Structure 1
């Protein structure tokens, strides 16, 4: 909790208030300060208090407040503001009679049993989900006294459920000494866990709370899913339970932020007056966070109206129960289809060791799996997608009609013959081979015939994000001679475990550009997939100079596989490309250009290079 030094200005005000009225004794402010010094659970925030009081006494200013309740309100605002603690209140209650409820352990056993039965509700919901509602956390002595009852009627019945909803929405009272009992049921016997440290100011003692190695009843353990429900009414020991289970990563919290109570608050009379100060006399410090649930409350993992918490918790448990199956399914898909087989063991080991505690929705699971897989692989092509619509697992290309051909050519291709008889060809998608054959005659007539007789060709791939790889051999063939056929690259298909050598084609429609004229390929960080394979093949065989930015590092082919019966799908690169020159697998880091340039400048850089070469050729003649 934040706190500051005791404000001298405040004490000046307090002294003026008290000394300014003959109805109040000057000793009141001194008595209140003494109570704070001896009882307030943050004594370090009271440094300088005595000096401030003396400063107030020496002051001669007068402020008269005759109404005692108004004075109490003024004192409350001042003390809360000075110590930044809303639990500190001053009240005027001349007829106040403290009522001490009887300590639970001193009650007859029959009454204790009725109390426990009235404050505990247990049932088993659908899918063997346990529901346990506890409205009062009983302390150590009572828990020990009622051990057999709790064992037989609560904990041993809870232990047989597959997962548990632990309802603390109505728990507004309880004893902190009972917290270790509950936490122990949801943890293992060893090692013991330090769960809280409580400082008591009046006795100036510190007590550590730990889990217990031996308890009465069967433990629920650490493995099964646990959801804790909270509301704005959840207070005190129940908050300690929820806060501890949350930060031990043992339970997800569903509902509303809890009340933000205190370990122990006392109402102490100020001297012999009718004024009382309510003051927190003990504080909790969680050993994991170094902070506490006091004042600020326990924030839920899923923030929802408390009335809807049970239904939401059931949905959350359904999501969480599916996590092991989803992880196993992803592991199986990677093992069977991922093309870089040498990386598979590291993936599987990483998934097995990953903590999915924070996952509270299918979207969370998709994001978590994505982050974990890509952190290991550094492969952006490996993705987990969440979609309500089943994606097409076999996306078949549509053969265009005669009326659509002209539109497709106008949309996909942009051509120009630049000065110096330089051809410019831009196309923004790699079409399927069957589509290319269908539009072939019109493509030759409207596009290729206007470029084939240029002396140099600029192929602009800066806006081509990929598409089908089937037409790559056809496209490459136009830039090589008919004989001999050239080995472009080799494809390893993980799903069929086959190796396929991709060659130029012996026959094509129209005229070849040939193997001697210069080719320049422009790239950007958008250039991906099949466009990269074409670019890399042309670069690998020294048939083109690449100008621009490194390409995206996409996949030649990715398969889409459903993860179990969920709405999650894995996009897995299932093919790798091996260089025809080195025989090694092409990197997934993208194609590095021969000449690095900003994508926007790549065309002008290519034109300058071409102009410079033509100038040299002219001088050579």
Structure 2
């Protein structure tokens, strides 16, 4: 509406239309232009109109249209197109008789009471959810006249509910002066809130609407949940209420986009002719958006068929009522388990100050919580998801007490767990898919030394295949890392901080290894895939940070087993909290995911023999051999 200008070319066309028949005088278009200038609520769009009309009259060009209704249609199209306002219409109605309904305040009190009772419905639903339906927004004078009735029969009863469904689906009439009364009930006394600004063109006046410092009856306030229902029939003052509450972030709107009415539209006769122009004479400007509900309507937060709006609103209120408990539950879990204890106060303060007004489903709540925590923590290990989107991974280790001491059984167990081969170019190959518990590894020490380190001791390079390694015990990595260093040198490998136990454990080079060490001089190449997880990732990460190995393959999964998952209150939301910090030899905390030095495509990774061949080629190339 506010972007158009009255086109001189259009005015030429209008005058051509009018001058084409002796039945119409140039005065008709001049009269219409004067009505627009004096009454149209966007006068800034009419700049230059009078000059353009005069030029059109002086041009003397003719376009003949004798049918008056056709002329009215042509004028309508022209004016709407020029001003980009569909409310502007021209009609030919020689027998039109305006009907003015009586003003509500002038009606007898008994009739007013009957009207209000017929247009207001109030009941209390399950879980103390209030339901208030108003089909007509009464104005300031009527509200003042019926104040005690409204207080005793509506507002004081509404005030006792825990949340409210405010139904405006059938509200098609009303007065804008009544809007501050309603908004005031759903806000606090102070500070006063600027609701709307209404510009009236005929009087050239601007009126600001504000909330009221005192009202008759108990306020509902701004803290309890409020849902406003709208339909495509919702119009006028009811749209102003819905639009204001939405953009004050006081209510969620459920239903259909409203009708897109107007503050005030008048049908004005053009001169003494039988032509009339319908024109919006006042406009609303919301102080928050700078725009209005007029023409475009109020868009709902939840777009749904109006017939289903009540049930949907009840479901939404159930979700909304769970938000405070969910936030408290998340806060308690983070406070008790999160491994970066120094960051916890900032997290909790951030959650407390976060606005959850836009949350309309459990999925929204999960996403909002996750995004807020991620933004402040920058820790990908701290995750909040819906249960079905976040399967909880349970770490399982070997149980040492269940492993027999029979040497033959232990040899078979090692043969099953560890795959060892010698590849082309005297390259060793070691694959294992899980890091065992330290006590288990100690029990299998002699068999591991014979199976692995005796077999690999004379190879020139070593491939460690972690493509299918899903994790296990991080503590046992110290044993493998010690075999890959010189026994004469002491190295600090990594540190583990356990938030639950409140312990810090350092892992350094182990002495007294049962097998021959591989040492630090020969090349080590680690194969990774997107299946590589937890301790498998940590080992790859450490080999990289220690500059002891070259990674070949895909980026790892980013799965951290040093976390616990908890259900959030009575929802389907799960929070996963890291309770262990894995700190490398440089003092950096690993937050998941390892990117290899050489990347192989997914297809190659899936084909084991081809991947091993490619790794061997990388090794030979790395060592300076020329390949055909």
- TM-score, normalised relative to structure 2: 0.85
Match of 1:530 in 2: 535
SS in 1 for 2:66: coil
Give the deviation of 1:80 after TM superposition: 0.7
Q: Match of 2:518, SS?
A: coil
Counterpart Cα distance in 2 of 1:495 and 1:228: 46
Q: In structure 1, what is the equivalent of residue 402 of structure 2?
A: none
Please say if 1:562 is aligned against 2:567. Answer: yes
Q: How many angstroms apart in 2 are the aligned matches of 1:495 and 1:600?
A: 39
Structure 1's 276 and 389: CA in aligned 2 closer, same or farther, altered over 3 A? closer
Aligned to 1:588: 591
Q: Does 1:9 align with 2:9?
A: yes
* Alignment deviations for residues 115-143 of structure 1 (CA, whole Å, 9 cap, x no partner): 11111111100000000111111111111
Task: Call closer, same or farther: CA 1:479–1:80 in 2, change over 3 Å.
Answer: same
Distance (Å, rounded) in 1 between the aligned partners of 2:576 and 2:562: 10
1:187 is matched with 187
The structure-2 alpha-carbon separation of the partners of 1:531 and 1:217, relative to structure 1 and needing over 3 Å to count, comes to: same
Q: Which residues of 2 match residues 400-415 of structure 1 at below 5 A?
A: none
1:417 aligns with 2:428: no
Question: How far 1:148 moved relative to its partner?
Answer: 0.7
Work out whether residues 256 and 300 of structure 2, in 8 Å CA contact, stay in contact via their aligned partners in 1: yes
Query: Does the Cα contact within 8 Å between 1:197 and 1:284 map onto a contact in 2?
Result: yes
1:456 aligns with 2:461: yes
1:577 equivalent in structure 2 = 582
1:136 aligns with 2:136: yes
TM-score (norm 1): 0.86
Q: CA deviation at 1:540?
A: 6.2
More deviation, 330-339/7-16: 7-16
Aligned residue for 1:297?
Answer: 297
Cα shift at 1:611: 3.1
Q: CA deviation at 1:56?
A: 1.8
Distance 2:570 2:200 in 1: 54
Partner of 2:326, secondary structure, is: helix
Correspondence 1:610 to 2:619: no
Q: Could you say if the C-alpha distance between residues 111 and 481 of structure 1 is closer, same or farther in structure 2, counting changes exceeding 3 Å?
A: same
Aligned to 2:235: 235
| Cα pair 2:453 2:518 within 8 Å, conserved | no
CA distance in 2, matches of 1:341, 1:569: 21
Partner of 2:473: 469
Decide whether the 8 Å contact of 2:431 with 2:465 is kept in 1.
yes
- In the other structure, the counterpart of 1:80 is 80
Residues 189 and 214 in structure 2, CA contact (< 8 A), matched pair in contact too: yes
**CA offset at residue 495 of structure 1?**
2.5
| Aligned equivalent of 1:71 | 71
Q: Does the 8 A contact of 2:396 with 2:472 survive in 1?
A: no
Structure 2 residue ranges without an equivalent (≥5) = 400-410, 602-613
Could you tell me how far apart the structure 2 residues matched to 1:77 and 1:163 are?
A: 47
Kept in 1, the 8 Å contact 2:430–2:464? The answer is yes
CA distance in 2, matches of 1:465, 1:19: 89
**Where does residue 154 of structure 1 map in the other structure?**
154
CA RMSD of aligned residues (A): 3.7
Equivalent runs, 1:302-321 vs 2, <5 Å: 302-321=302-321
1:50 Cα deviation (Å)? 1.3
Instruction: Work out whether 1:40 is the aligned partner of 2:37.
Output: no
SS at match of 1:99: coil
| 1:10-25 matched pairs, under 5 angstroms | 10-25=10-25
1:439–1:361 distance in 2 versus 1, CA, 3 Å:
farther
Matches within 5 A, 1:503-542: 512-521=516-525, 529-538=534-543
Task: Report 1:307-346 matches (<5 A).
Answer: 307-346=307-346
Per-residue Cα deviation, 1:154-186 (whole angstroms, up to 9, x for no partner) = 111111100000000011111111111111111
Unaligned stretches of 5+ residues in structure 1: 400-404, 615-621
Match of 2:498 among 473, 493, 498: 493
| 1:174 aligned onto 2:174 | yes
Q: 1:322 to 1:513 in 2, by over 3 A?
A: same
Q: Report the CA distance between 1:299 and its aligned residue.
A: 0.5
Structure 1 residues 371 and 311, CA gap change in structure 2 (3 angstroms): same
- Is the CA contact (8 Å cut-off) linking 1:228 and 1:252 kept in structure 2? yes
Relative distance call for 1:97 and 1:397 in structure 2 (3 A) is farther
Q: Which residue of 2 aligns with 1:200?
A: 200
Deviation of the 1:19 alpha carbon? 1.2
Q: Do the aligned residues in 1 keep the contact of 2:2 with 2:42 (CA within 8 Å)?
A: no
1:216 aligns with 2:216: yes
Please state whether the residue corresponding to 1:292 is helix, strand or coil. coil
In 1, the alpha carbon distance for the partners of 2:182 and 2:388 equals 40
For residues 341 and 532 of structure 1, the distance between their equivalents in structure 2, rounded to whole angstroms, comes to: 24
Any idea what SS the aligned residue of 1:224 has? coil
Cα separation, 2, equivalents of 1:11 and 1:411: 89
Provide the C-alpha distance between the structure 1 equivalents of 2:527 and 2:203, rounded to a whole number of angstroms. 75
Work out the CA distance in 2 between the residues paired with 1:231 and 1:358.
20
1:325 counterpart SS class: helix
| C-alpha separation in 2, matches of 1:540 and 1:64 | 87
Name the SS of the counterpart of 1:254 in structure 2. Answer: strand
C-alpha displacement of 1:389: 8.5
Separation of aligned partners in 2, 1:337 and 1:59: 84
